[in-house]
Structure 1
Amino acid sequence: MWSEDKFLQIAPGENKVPESLLFDTYAEELSFPAIYLGEFRVFREEANVTPFMMATSELRRSDRRGVLPNKLLYTAMKIMRLRVCSALKIGFKHIVKEVESIW
């Protein structure tokens, strides 16, 4: 039998915490299907790959699909947001230590 509670989902993200595009691991591949062709990037296990390393690798390739203006702006903003986020974490870490020493 068909049940509305089981099969009808009007809002599938209801009662869930939204995930930021900055921290979504597959957001870039899903945002640019013409570049990645629906395939996710795969790296070696021992490689510690950063978003900056991925961007420079795509810029240096002979395949010029990754150099579209909207992709470049997306990548630049992503790297800037990650750097601001890490700087804020460091800044707040020092503020918390100073406040704890006062009390």
Structure 2
Amino acid sequence: MTEKTSHVFPQSIANIPGLHRMLSIKEVREVVPLSTRQIDRLIRQGLFPEPIFISPNRRAWAEPKIRQFLRERELSGQSRRAYSTRYCGPALEAFAAPTISEISSTEEADHVRAI
């Protein structure tokens, strides 16, 4: 078995201001429990930090941006329903029940109140 080693900046690089450890998609997925496909969707929606391309086919994320993303989710305390509605948008709105104010007939509104 091989040991998993964490990537640590050499001391000379760690002290350079503004330089952050960069995470690969594999490392991001170890921290953020989402699939690569879901991460890509969130990036397109502007809800996940943008990666930088360190070569034409290699993207990476600054570790502080990923930490900030997770911290914001933790602090927002969103319920699963709020999270789903926010990220799925119109797809879930089609299944939402009408509110009482949206129901035109008084008879139908009384029926909904009874339920």
| TM-score (ref. length: structure 1) | 0.26
Structure number with bigger Rg: 2
Higher helix share: 1
Higher strand share: 2
